[in-house]
Amino acid sequence: MVNILPQNYKHPLEDKCATDMKKIMVATDILSDYYDKFVKEALLPDLIGKAVRVSSTQFPKVHKIILNISGILNIKPPEAFVVESLYYDVNAEGLNDPWLQISAKTIYDLPDEELIFLIGRQLTHIQCGHMYDEVLMEQTIEALNLLKHTPAAVLNIVGGLEATQTTYRFVMAKWSRISEFTADAGAYLLCDKNIKACVNAILTTVFNNRLLAKEINVGEYIKQTKKINSLTSTMATCSKLDELMPYGPFRIQELIRFASAERAV
């Protein structure tokens, strides 16, 4: 397979959403340094001590998939760790040197094509630099949260801080949802445009149940987007704006739209 670049699959709204989010990030150098020296260092002992590192002799199939996809994306292969979990999940973590965390049941239960999709979408996140932006925005929001416990609270501006924090989270959530559309599209290209495998993998992770996923009529499922869009009350709107991951029907709808587009053919 030829090399795949972000411009081959990036969602058309991503750059604008990323620009809007970066406008409200603060002290990124300080937050990056803080994450590497404190947050990451606190995570590593549990990660290494409670997981199995993927290598050529431990989960060799997964190791080979990561090496192959990393070559196609022209990125440094990240370290990967297999963890015991109740959920089907592959997740990228970290800032400057990301790693993968893969649940054991994902490896054991899913066919290779779906595993490639789930691993591939996390590696496209890394290729696009999403991890860096995500962590720094999370740290920005956390910094605002810490301000509420400073003498500023005495000045009765906590309400303003909470409103700012909520606004920042909505901006981040919008970018996050678009970045997930991007990752789905990139992973679709990585698994040889096998749309059935992609949809099955999405449904499995959304419902965390293989049997339930098999009961889904995709056409009917996508129609649920209309009902979601019709929910326009203040509470419903806030709930939707706060979602970091797009709802399943929107993910599948957007992936099918991408698969039908000229650049994906």
Output the pLDDT for position 91: 96
Output the pLDDT for position 28: 86
Q: Work out the number of other CB atoms within 10 angstroms of the CB of residue 78.
A: 19
Output the pLDDT for position 167: 86
Output the pLDDT for position 150: 63
d(CA 140, CA 147) in angstroms, rounded, equals 11
Band of residue 84 on the pLDDT scale cut at 50, 70, 90: very high
d(CA 202, CA 252) in angstroms, rounded, equals 8
- For Cα atoms 24, 28, 32, give the angle at the middle one, nearest 5 degrees: 140
Residue 148: closest CA among 161, 132, 136: 161
CA distances from 57 to 63, 96, 116, 131, 161 (A): 9, 26, 19, 28, 50
Coil/strand/helix, residue 90 = strand
Arithmetic mean of pLDDT, 245-261 = 97
d(CA 131, CA 171) in angstroms, rounded, equals 16
Question: Which token pair is 253?
Answer: 């709808």
Band of residue 192 on the pLDDT scale cut at 50, 70, 90: very high
Q: Work out the number of other CB atoms within 10 angstroms of the CB of residue 63.
A: 17
d(CA 72, CA 85) in angstroms, rounded, equals 29
pLDDT at 254 over 80: yes
- Could you report the per-residue pLDDT of 11-51, keeping only the tens digit for each? 999 999 999 998 888 788 888 998 899 999 999 999 999 99
Output the pLDDT for position 25: 84
The phi, psi pair for 111, rounded to 5°, reads -65, 160
d(CA 228, CA 211) in angstroms, rounded, equals 24
Judged on CB neighbours under 10 Å (0-12, 13-18, 19+), 131 is buried
The phi, psi pair for 96, rounded to 5°, reads -85, -20
The position carrying tokens 């909470």 is 162
Q: Select the more confidently predicted residue: 158 or 162.
A: 162
- Could you report the per-residue pLDDT of 102-160, keeping only the tens digit for each? 999 999 999 999 999 999 999 999 999 999 999 888 888 787 676 666 665 555 455 56
